[in-house]
Amino acid sequence: MPHIKANAEDQGLAERAYLALIASDADDDATKGLFFERITIENWTTFPKAQRRAFVAEQRRNNPADGRALIESVWKSEPAPVRAALLDALMVGLGPDDQPFLESLSADRADSIKQIAAQLLTRIAERAQRGTRLTEAAQCFQRAGSFLAKIGLGSASTVTFKLPADGLKWQEAEALRERLFGGLQLTALARAVGVSPEALIAALPPSEHRVLMLLMDAAAAEGDDDTVLRIIGARLCGGDALHGYALMSLAAKARQPLAAQVAERVLASPAWQKAIQDLADATTPAAQKDDGRLVLMAALMPRATMPAFIATLTPLSPATARAAKDFADLVLALPT
């Protein structure tokens, strides 16, 4: 139930009926929207708040003004929890045109609404200064090597990253990362640096995992699942080692599997081959145990790549590969 309820965008009639069936008597929200196959402009107010938030966010992706108008049309009649959910949808397509509405909420009766509105206004102000911040963030990436590389004709591998954090304490360096990269879009940053998004991701060393997560969070906030997967694929295809904690944080951001071509490159990457070899060469039961890399990678694999994924597990003992292989077999057993 928690997993189904959390994925409001993916709930169909059967999922909503199931949630209503098991809901407590006090959970009136779960019984809404059961008369309609799908959410539309005509019936969106009858659905649970999570689906209403997702619907407004989708409208905002196509036309921010239309999405905001939906919120304003029901604002005075909704309780604070619903208004908070709808207000959160303004993060998608947020811009200066939203400022008058947000400023009007300074007198709202709910403190939670005032806080969300203030956060969104702060984000608008930050975006107004994004040109300067984007330039400063881009300066962390340097082109090195030959003359051709410096003028943009050399290999993308010549790009390096260095945060100007010399002499800063850990907390100060983290605050600097947040200030420079929080809310920045990957494509805009790559364009400012003058490299491809994949080259930019490859330039980030493992120690700068926080920067990678900030770029993913910015894409996720805009509902840009393609960019989230692009970042995951670029990170998994690059580098010589794959760590369980890093893979877990990446996989947790993915709302769908990798594209088949990207997944094939990941399986052929030195990092994945080394992960398999390390587990195959382990000599103790504790060292042979999957630390999460196998099952998390299985979760990122699309159906078309599952047979190839299973083939990479061949060197491993049945105990080591069991959980990942069971999941892969389940995916292959499901109807297409």
* Tens of pLDDT, residues 74-99: 999 999 999 999 999 998 888 899 99
The per-residue pLDDT for 156 is: 44
d(CA 80, CA 68): 17
Average confidence score pLDDT of the chain: 87
Q: What is the DSSP letter of 259?
A: P
**Segments in the chain below pLDDT 70:** 25-31, 33, 129-131, 144-157
d(CA 44, CA 38): 9
Domain spans in the chain, listed from the N-terminal domain onward: 2-128, 129-195
Pairing mode, strands 159-161 and 141-143: antiparallel
The per-residue pLDDT for 105 is: 93
The per-residue pLDDT for 207 is: 87
Contact 231, 215 (CB under 8 A): yes
Helix (H, G, I), strand (E, B) or coil at 142: strand
The per-residue pLDDT for 212 is: 93
Contact 210, 257 (CB under 8 A): no
d(CA 128, CA 132): 9
The per-residue pLDDT for 123 is: 82
Contact 257, 233 (CB under 8 A): no
Helices then strands (H, E): number in the chain? Answer: 21, 2
The per-residue pLDDT for 48 is: 84
The structure's pTM equals 0.69
d(CA 110, CA 89): 18
CA-angle at 216, arms to 113 and 70, nearest 5°? 35
The per-residue pLDDT for 152 is: 54
d(CA 37, CA 324): 35
* pLDDT tens digits along 1-18: 888 877 777 788 888 888
Structural element, H or E, at residue 241 = none
